[in-house]
Structure 1
Amino acid sequence: MASKHSPPDGIVEQCSNCEREQPHEVSIDLLTESDQEENAEFSREPYRVATCRVCGDTTKTRMNNA
């Protein structure tokens, strides 16, 4: 079975906190957008979450803007 390995330094992208390109850990997470508990499972949306491996700054970007 083939598997993909991420680069040893992670994905390199601009960090707004460090103000330069740094390695980041990137994942896709389902986040709940509703504060109400009732029907909260229907308000989940995919977000791209990037965390700088140097300073720990995290950015979350909504994947679909419906």
Structure 2
Amino acid sequence: MATTDDSFNGLTEHCNDCDLETLHEISVQIRTESRKEENAQFSREPYRVAECQRCGNRSSQRMNNA
């Protein structure tokens, strides 16, 4: 679970690579899931992207599956 901390900008989360609670930069990306051009405009989904500021590991999770 993400928590705020005393840092200037960011959230601390558990990083599987570092095996520690580390500062993460969080963003939301809209990704197109359909490879068919005629359906692409209807297949965009939001993804939560977390990047560890210590090791650079990135993870993403589809928001509709959160």
TM-score under structure 2 normalisation? Answer: 0.78
Q: Which consecutive unaligned segments of at least 5 residues does structure 2 have?
A: 1-6
Q: Which has the higher helix share?
A: 2
Task: String of CA shifts for 1:10-57, please: whole Å, max 9, x gaps.
Answer: 100000111111000001111111223332121110111000011111
Q: Which consecutive unaligned segments of at least 5 residues does structure 1 have?
A: 1-6
Runs of 4+ in 1 over 4 A off after TM superposition: none
Percent identity, please. 53
> Which residue does 1:12 correspond to in 2?
12
The aligned amino acid for 2:21 is: E
RMSD over equivalenced CA pairs, Å: 1.4
> Which residue does 1:32 correspond to in 2?
32
Q: Say which SS state the counterpart of residue 30 (structure 1) adopts.
A: strand
Question: How many residue pairs align between the two structures?
Answer: 59
User: 1:61: Cα distance to partner?
Assistant: 0.6
